Structure 1
Amino acid sequence: MSNEDLIITDNEFLRQFETRINEELATIEYSQQDRKIFLTKIIMPENTEDRQEDFIKAVLSEIKERNTRVVPTSPEIAGFMRRNRRKYKDLLPVGINI
């Protein structure tokens, strides 16, 4: 399975991206200001942690399509973006380094 297999839904009411993995709901909470989206918290159900990076990749891809900048305030998402700095540096606002 890859991140292309994940169906990402933007639940604007709850301000979170959602996907189902093994019938369990995984979420990334966010807040949005202007053209920036702050990814504040990731919640992965038990037994789905192995898909966390796929979920993050899929959400970042969704955000990139919206031409919006990302500020990763969640330690897990910031760590992922740090490890994949070259691929995702264009999503960061000007002046933000991780």
Structure 2
Amino acid sequence: MENETFEIKDNEFLRQFEATIEDEFVKLEYSDQERKIFLSKLEMSEELREKGYQEQFLTQVFDYIEKKGRLKIIPNSKEVKRFFKANKEKYSDLIPIGISF
């Protein structure tokens, strides 16, 4: 079975990245300050995680932040930290100097 395609939305009012995947609402809460974005709480069902959507969702979020070019990422949740560790080479420019995992 091939995964459904989806797009993320940056809901600046609620400070969260959002998507609807297989009719389920998914979000990653954030706060931003001083050119840093703190990615704090990912809400996604275990069923979607098992289908590989967590990786796809976080890839879209990181790519979106990278495209904006102004912010550095501070991962504050275990899922985001795990994703960053697995993709460290691709996204190393998004982590502030002095932060390591």
What TM-score comes out, normalization by structure 1 length? 0.91
Which runs of no fewer than 5 residues in structure 1 stay unpaired? Answer: none
In 2: Cα distance, 1:79 partner to 1:48 partner: 17
Q: 1:73 is matched by which residue type in structure 2?
A: N
For the aligned residues, what is the CA RMSD? 1.6
Give 3-state SS (helix, strand or coil) of 2:13's partner. Answer: coil
Residue in 2 that maps onto 1:41:
41
Aligned length: 97
Alignment of 1:22-33 (within 5 A): 22-33=22-33
Q: Which runs of 4+ in 1 moved over 3 A?
A: none
Give 3-state SS (helix, strand or coil) of 1:79's partner. Answer: helix
In 2: Cα distance, 1:46 partner to 1:71 partner: 24
- Give 1:2 shift: 6.5
In 1: Cα distance, 2:24 partner to 2:31 partner: 23
Residue in 1 that maps onto 2:13:
13
Q: 1:88 is matched by which residue type in structure 2?
A: Y
Contact 1:9 1:17 in 2 (8 A): yes
- Give 1:14 shift: 1.1
Residue in 2 that maps onto 1:55:
57
Give 3-state SS (helix, strand or coil) of 1:48's partner. Answer: helix
Identify the match of residue 65 of structure 1 among 67, 75, 83: 67
Instruction: Label 1:78 to 1:46 Cα distance change in 2 as closer, same or farther (>3 A).
Output: closer
Which runs of no fewer than 5 residues in structure 2 stay unpaired? Answer: none
Deviations 1:20-73 (A, max 9, x none): 100111000000002110000100035211200100000000000111110001
